[in-house]
Chains A and B, each alone.
Chain A
């Protein structure tokens, strides 16, 4: 038997939700939502569960991950309940529930933990560099570039990289497994044939690379299009840039962190420029959106939304500066900026990938995948 928990609202408030108790259950939000259909009717269901405090049911829901926050439920809600913001809040809440370490919950609900962790992780990098950095030579390479690999040899950085990658993968994958248990395994009455796990896999890959779910947010209500809209393009640009950068740093570090200065058309430089431009444009765009509060989705900013954007911005800008300081032969500037770059990068990845916003990048396609599995299993898929 489910037990009602009226105090659950207080828990959710810490993750950002507004006055969802004002809901009078008219169903307007569900009716105007272009993602909502016969099988998945939301967001009112999520509001109902939140009002009643049915945590188990919330934890096993995929709905918050299907929502891309077009904001139409919020702008038309007769009670100003802001269902869109509740869905965003639930994504934060679910992130903290999938995380078995409990860190995500602390990072979301406590500013002390959030900033403390950032400072601690940055300090770790600083201390490591203070004690283990290579010689700070002012000698330049034959091309006139800085000998960055003398100061921070890629071999050692790569070791750190792999340790970090292992940690990130461990946390993220275990969280996804936890998500799988909560969403799929909790529905004991649905038996999923083993073959379905493979036949439905395409959705996972497709949605991860295209963020295709966005296009479903095209709406008849305001005639707003998300397919090929500025928002969608910038989001995709930012996302692909981030993934390219992550792969280059994690897998191709020896090739990426080089002392050679290649021609401008070299893939190492082109990929780097694509990614840094993508990241900068994306971050600036989203920061402006959040400051101006232009759309429903940018109206409400949780503190973690800001730390995410700021850390990502610092990482990107410092990375770009390292590149230019290096090729224009400014040794000390390069070294200090490199340390600063890692001091921003390390907390950004350690906090955001398994415990916060970057994890959504993984949770969203997995949610669609799990949802398709369940739908296929009960045979009600369209």
Chain B
């Protein structure tokens, strides 16, 4: 039996909350292991264009944090890895199994992307939310960290071209899953959220009508590293000039099992609408809403600014979306202010999808279970006194694992989690 590695804190999830928590603890001097399921750390935020309500560049805020985390001497990062079978033996004494999935590319990779050029297999690019394609061997995205390639073995044709052209000899098809045991003294869950899958609302036609897209697909069209270098609608590549946003697509909706507000959709839609006014100056943007929830500092002003820019706000949930032959879409809605049914034609419809809990955390413990709240997020057992505390002492929670939060609130929550974890490590919080 190989002796297991020891760390002070295990942070599960390398999104903005996980990074923040890891950095805080590492800066105090604790040894941190950060385990990320995805190929790169950075979470969802690294894929965003601007953040509300300041319209700061999202990547410009998140990438320095990502680099700092990656380079910190007290933090060890495992991407494309998972933890399982976490067991608590005593206070400050946990063990877990670390599973490192094979990338089939070693750390020698320089990210030169020559392999990508040669690879003959093209599949949908999940990091561009399926707007464009990628190769079977690929660097996840341009600002990924670590910026090394991976082979998507399920789609790979095993032709071996990448292996031949790689100048660093980094391709290694013989890699297998690696399992090891780690010992830790405390855990922070920062597994984040999932985006709502709009296929669950068939009447909105997502997946059936090509010009119905999700807000994340629109977000990708607005970032500097965007796939088309322009905003285009999927069906025919036309530049849309009449765009609709459908709010509460999958939030505040009992019929899809998510009755709560996602807290961010109103504001990110207002933000995207403003960015669209810049990207497509001639376009009309209409936002269909139930209530605009502009509750944070500067949010209401941001909303008023959008109104002032000429974005149309219509009170009324879109009931039904129909497609015309030319790919344009008809939205049926009740204009609540006037009290009657109306139809409106748009050439692109964006579904402002909400946040759902990522429930991976329920399966990683061996003998115990992290309590879930009413909406399946991690239950905060003492929300007012110890907002990061879970039902297991020594296990804390940060970011959107606790519920829908925007970016600043996620970072605040991570701060709380790291402070509580530090207290626990020093024998304080029980």
Contact = CB atoms under 8 A, between A and B. Distances in A.
Interface of A: 24-33, 36-39, 41, 44-45, 75-80, 220-221
Given A75-B255, A78-B253, A32 B339 contact: no
Contact of A27 (B255, B291, B319): B319
Contacts of A33: 341
Contact of B341 (A37, A77, A221): A37
B334 to A, nearest CB: 3
A44 B334 contact: yes
A26 B255 contact: no
Contacts of A78: 248, 252-255, 259, 317
A92 to B, nearest CB: 25
A292 B248 CA distance: 33
Closest 9 CB pairs of A and B: A31-B319, A27-B334, A26-B317, A30-B334, A78-B253, A41-B340, A32-B319, A26-B290, A27-B316
A75 B248 CA distance: 17
Contacts of B179: none
B340 A76 contact: no
Contacts of A220: 320, 322
Interface string B334-368: 11100111100000000000000000000000000
A31 B332 contact: yes
Q: Classify chain B's interface size.
A: 20 to 34
Contact of B290 (A24, A29, A44): A24
Contacts of B340: 30, 38-39, 41
Max count, chain B CB within 10 A of own CB: residue among A28, A29, A33, A44: A28
B255 A31 contact: no
Contacts of B248: 26, 78
A77 B320 CA distance: 12
B290 A36 contact: no
Given A31-B341, A32-B319, 17 more contacts: A24-B252, A24-B290, A25-B336, A27-B334, A27-B335, A28-B334, A30-B319, A31-B318, A31-B334, A38-B340, A41-B339, A45-B339, A78-B317, A80-B254, A80-B255, A220-B322, A221-B320
13 contacts: A24-B290, A29-B319, A30-B341, A31-B316, A31-B320, A31-B332, A33-B341, A39-B340, A41-B334, A76-B255, A78-B259, A78-B317, A80-B254
Nearest to A81: B254
Contacts of A29: 319
Contacts of A30: 319, 334, 340-341
Nearest to B291: A24
B319 A38 contact: no
B71 interface: no
A41 B341 CA distance: 6
A150 B336 CA distance: 67
Nearest to B252: A78
B321 to A, nearest CB: 10
Contact of A76 (B203, B290, B316, B335): B203
Interface in B59-91: none
B254 A79 contact: yes
A32 B332 contact: yes
Interface string B242-264: 00000010001111000100000
